[in-house]
A = this chain, B = another copy of it.
Amino acid sequence: MRISELSDATGVAVHTITYYLRVGLLPPGELTSRTRAEYGPDHVSRVRLIRALVQGAGVSIDGVRQIIDALENPPADKHELFGVAQEAVPAPDGSRAASAEVRAVLTELGWDEVLDNPFVGTLTAAVETARDAGLDLRPEHVVELARAVEGIARIDVGHALQAPSVEHALLLVAAGTVVTDPILAALRRLAQQHVSAEVAAGTGLSAEPRPPSESR
Report yes or no: A207 in contact with B129, Cβ–Cβ below 8 A: no
Q: Which chain A residues have a beta carbon within 8 Å of chain B's beta carbons?
A: 45, 48-49, 51-53, 55-58, 79, 81-83, 86, 91, 106, 109-111, 113-114, 117, 119-120, 122-123, 126-127, 129-130, 132-137, 141-142, 144-159, 161-162, 168, 171-173, 175-177, 179-197, 199-200, 204-209, 212-216
| Contact assessment for A188 and B133 in the assembled complex, using a CB-CB cutoff below 8 Å | no
Q: In the complex, are the beta carbons of B192 and A156 less than 8 A apart?
A: yes
8 A–B contact pairs at CB < 8 A?
A51-B132, A81-B196, A82-B192, A117-B190, A133-B175, A145-B152, A145-B155, A154-B205
A52–B129 CB distance below 8 A: yes
Number of copies: 2
Partner of A189, one of B79, B119, B155, B208: B119
Q: Dominant SS at the A interface?
A: helix
Q: Contact: A156 with B188, CB < 8 Å? A: yes
**A176:B119 contact, CB within 8 angstroms:** no
